[in-house]
Amino acid sequence: MAERLLDNINNPGDLKKLSVDELPILAQEIREMIINNVAFSGGHLASSLGAVELIIGIHYCLNAPEDIIIWDVGHQAYAHKILTGRKDRFDTLRKIGGLSGFPNKYESEYDVFTTGHGSTSISTALGMAAARDLEQKNYKVVAVIGDASLGGGMALEALNHAGHLHKDMLVILNDNEMSISKSVGALSKYLNRIITAPAYNKIRKDVENLLSRVPRFGFRVIRSARRLEEGLKNLLVPGMLFEELGLRYFGPIDGNNIAAVIGTIKNIINMNEPVLLHVVTKKGKGYSFAEKGPEKFHGISSFNVNTGEKTAAADIEKQDVESEESFTKAFGSKIIEMAERDKKIVAITAAMPEGTGLDKFANLFPDRFFDVGMAEQHAVGFAAGLARAGFKPVVAIYSTFLQRSYDQILHDVCLQNLNVILMLDRSGLVGEDGPTHHGAFDISYIGHLPNIVSMAPKDEDELKNMFEWAVSYDKGPVAIRYPRGSSYAFHTGSGNSAPINLGKGELLKQGKDVTIAGVGYMSNIALEAASFLMNEGIDCEVINARFIKPVDIDLIIESVLKTEKLFTIEEGVIGGGFGSGVLELIIDKVEKHIIIKNIALPDRFIEHGDRQVLLDKYGLSSKKIAEAIKKEWQR
């Protein structure tokens, strides 16, 4: 194979040995590497392809790692990984033990911050700029943020503060007019107006012409016209919004044109004040299938490079939505069925209509569907308002992103005791997206809040029943957590589940030796572990908790008085989890000596990798659960 420019690039210093004219060739080589690897490993393809030239340009002008680059979300930064000494390991992307799909501070000194959640970069960058100034150092600080992420509350709070602090920092707004789907919101419309400036320029010319003829109309008209001009300036000068906030605005420039990117950054990098550079990029750039379908290629599992067709069943951000069975899909169809009957049901998503299964609802009930953008806190506060006014809002957000809304759940929903339904998709381990994305904490962060009912279904049918029950429940908020993918391997067919009653669990199997109480999907795993143990002569009683709160402690106690051994199983962190809740209740109620073990995720952040491999590694596969029970049994 002919030598590539990329072969000689092991760090950003090597990059600077190339001439600007050579860089488009390098961009092409990087693009090929990204496409070929993501086709195999899955990953965030479209965002990363769109940002290749921008990333080359940034590294060409800056001096990383001394200069600081903070990537927002970090899903666009594959070219950064390739340019900063990781090209030879790029084929391990997202694999267990391999490169993380996001910037990871433990992976490379060039990844200053571990990220995965949106809208954080400007705050972090501003903090580092403030620290630099306190220590009188003089490195540069750059935040790179997408147009959708800029609409998140934290980013807007940071802009507000950046304009006020007036630190030397550069915010690069990478605007591709896309979130996962099309960007939504007034800010996105504003950015779009800037991008389509030619039309504005024409209006501006017309207005200028008009104003130049104004003297004919006398002094009062001129004064009004001046005021009008001021008002129009706000509308017509690109980026006026940012200027008014205290940031110098430059752009829009073509972010896929390396020479333009480099020329502009070189011009503005030493301005010693907060600057926002607006670059426009094409999501999916350079791979026709991704350019045509950026949504499909935002986060994708493995695919055939020649056809663009997926070779595995699931997308990563939209995981398993299209597979035959999935919790997401069950929710998506059930909410439609319920909404046809109940006009008070409204649905809310935070930039993830497909991922949460609400896309069909959105088409059928556009007036009752709200995509609030990457604004999880607002999503919950907004739902609280709808509920206060008599509607039944259903907020579907991934467990990991709902962490953002902790205080809104507490203050705006639970304290007011409003009928808001929270659907926590991707609860538990999500797999390749890793620690920023695992839904490990929701049992704890929901469970300790007063007034809220918290549930977890073992399979899709139970999810539908629980959702129906939640809609009928009118005494306060309800949270339902369910994992990525489907319960297909365990699915027993519809209609077998006992009806849902508040605070009542379900006895799945009778036994006399050991009690296993599982949360949601883990009840199936417990049942499978019980069947392994039966072959070893250990007869387990298996309970599907159904309610994490209020937990059916009577059912558990009744069983444990018989077996004297209790194992709780949950796909969530051990601290403040279901198991510890059971312990708190049981300690007061049972005097007999019993053995209790909580099997849950440990008190640490779980790495990325295949979900089944991780479940096994952390003791949550049926095999590992059976082994743990057997060990205790033999003591």
Binding site for ligand TPP (CB under 6 A): 47, 73, 75-76, 116-118, 146-149, 174, 176, 178-180, 283, 350-352, 374, 376, 401, 404
- In the bound state, the residue with its beta carbon closest to ligand TPP is 146
- Residue 546 appears among annotated catalytic residues: no
DSSP secondary structure string for all residues of 348-392: EESS-TTTTT-HHHHHH-GGGEEE--S-HHHHHHHHHHHHHTT-E
- Residue 223 appears among annotated catalytic residues: no
* Residues β-bridged to residue 422: 395, 479
Q: CA-to-CA distance for 119 and 553, rounded, in angstroms?
A: 41
Phi-psi region of 366 (alpha: psi -120 to 50; beta: other; left: phi over 0): alpha
Return all residues near 220 (Cβ < 8 A) that are at least 6 apart.
none
Catalytic residue among 376, 528, 570, 571: 376
Nearest alpha carbon to residue 73 among 96, 50, 91: 50
Q: Is residue 61 helix, strand or coil?
A: helix
Q: Is residue 139 helix, strand or coil?
A: coil
In this structure, is the dihedral angle defined by the CA atoms of residues 626, 630, 631 and 632, taken in order, positive or negative? Answer: positive
The answer to whether 119 and 155 are in contact (CB under 8 A) is: yes
Q: What is the dihedral angle through the alpha carbons of 441, 442, 444, 445, rounded to the nearest 10 degrees?
A: 110
Pairing of strands 369-371, 68-71: unpaired
Nearer residue to ligand TPP within complex by CB, 179 or 486: 179
Catalytic residue among 94, 283, 426, 458: 283
Return all residues near 199 (Cβ < 8 A) that are at least 6 apart.
none
**Shortest CB 104 distance to ligand TPP, Å:** 15
Nearer residue to ligand TPP within complex by CB, 116 or 252: 116
Nearer residue to ligand TPP within complex by CB, 168 or 376: 376
Return all residues near 321 (Cβ < 8 A) that are at least 6 apart.
314, 315, 328, 329, 332, 354, 355, 357
Q: CA-to-CA distance for 508 and 604, rounded, in angstroms?
A: 31
Nearer residue to ligand TPP within complex by CB, 174 or 408: 174
**Shortest CB 325 distance to ligand TPP, Å:** 24
**Shortest CB 213 distance to ligand TPP, Å:** 43
DSSP structural state of residue 105 = T
Q: CA-to-CA distance for 509 and 542, rounded, in angstroms?
A: 5
**Shortest CB 185 distance to ligand TPP, Å:** 11
**Shortest CB 176 distance to ligand TPP, Å:** 5
Return all residues near 228 (Cβ < 8 A) that are at least 6 apart.
none
Nearer residue to ligand TPP within complex by CB, 148 or 171: 148
The answer to whether 544 and 458 are in contact (CB under 8 A) is: yes
Nearer residue to ligand TPP within complex by CB, 76 or 621: 76
The answer to whether 283 and 75 are in contact (CB under 8 A) is: no
**Shortest CB 227 distance to ligand TPP, Å:** 36
Q: Which two tokens stand for residue 248?
A: 């110098």
The answer to whether 599 and 576 are in contact (CB under 8 A) is: no
Nearer residue to ligand TPP within complex by CB, 101 or 116: 116
**Shortest CB 350 distance to ligand TPP, Å:** 6
The enclosing H or E element of 446 equals helix 442-447
Return all residues near 525 (Cβ < 8 A) that are at least 6 apart.
518, 569, 615, 620, 621, 622, 625
Nearer residue to ligand TPP within complex by CB, 84 or 405: 405
**Shortest CB 181 distance to ligand TPP, Å:** 9
Nearer residue to ligand TPP within complex by CB, 174 or 568: 174
**Shortest CB 464 distance to ligand TPP, Å:** 26
Q: Which two tokens stand for residue 555?
A: 């059912």
Nearer residue to ligand TPP within complex by CB, 150 or 545: 150
**Shortest CB 421 distance to ligand TPP, Å:** 19
DSSP structural state of residue 49 = H
Nearest alpha carbon to residue 453 among 361, 550, 350, 363: 550
Catalytic residue among 86, 285, 318, 404: 404
Q: Is residue 422 helix, strand or coil?
A: strand
The answer to whether 85 and 11 are in contact (CB under 8 A) is: yes
The b-or-e profile of 191-200 (16+ CB within 10 A means b, else e) is beebbeeeeb
Amino acid at 491: H
- Residue 376 appears among annotated catalytic residues: yes
Nearer residue to ligand TPP within complex by CB, 181 or 544: 181
Which residues does the annotation mark as catalytic? 283, 376, 404
